């Protein structure tokens, strides 16, 4: 299980963003291909639960986790 450490706030400049896009935008993952694989493989969490939907719409307040790092969506 991932460590529950610091959460970085990442402003998205709008009301929502897709999970795959946010992973790249927040700097949690380097490319869309890696994001797609990580999501499919169940390595990404949203609000503490695995989410395998790359197109999931995130909203302000959602917390995304990958490899022990976490980022919160901020409008």
- What pLDDT does 4 receive? 58
Instruction: Put the strands of the sheet holding 63-66 in their side by side order.
Output: 7-11, 69-74, 63-66, 44-46, 49-50
Q: What's the pLDDT tens digit per position in 60-70?
A: 999 999 999 99
CA distance 37 to 73: 21
Domains and CATH numbers, the chain: 7-74 (3.10.290.10)
Q: What's the pLDDT tens digit per position in 7-53?
A: 999 999 888 899 999 999 999 999 999 999 999 999 999 999 999 99
CA distance 49 to 25: 20
Reply yes or no on whether the pLDDT at 1 is more than 60. no
Degrees to nearest 5, angle at CA 40 with 1 and 6: 35
Reply yes or no on whether the pLDDT at 2 is more than 50. no
């Amino acid at each position: 299980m991932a460590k529950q450490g610091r959460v970085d706030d990442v402003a998205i400049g709008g009301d929502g963003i897709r999970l795959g896009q946010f992973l790249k935008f927040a700097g949690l993952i380097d490319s869309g291909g890696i994001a797609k694989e990580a999501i499919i493989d169940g390595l990404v969490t949203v609000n503490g639960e695995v989410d395998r939907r790359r197109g999931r719409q995130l909203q302000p307040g959602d917390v995304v986790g990958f490899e022990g790092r976490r980022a919160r969506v901020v409008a």
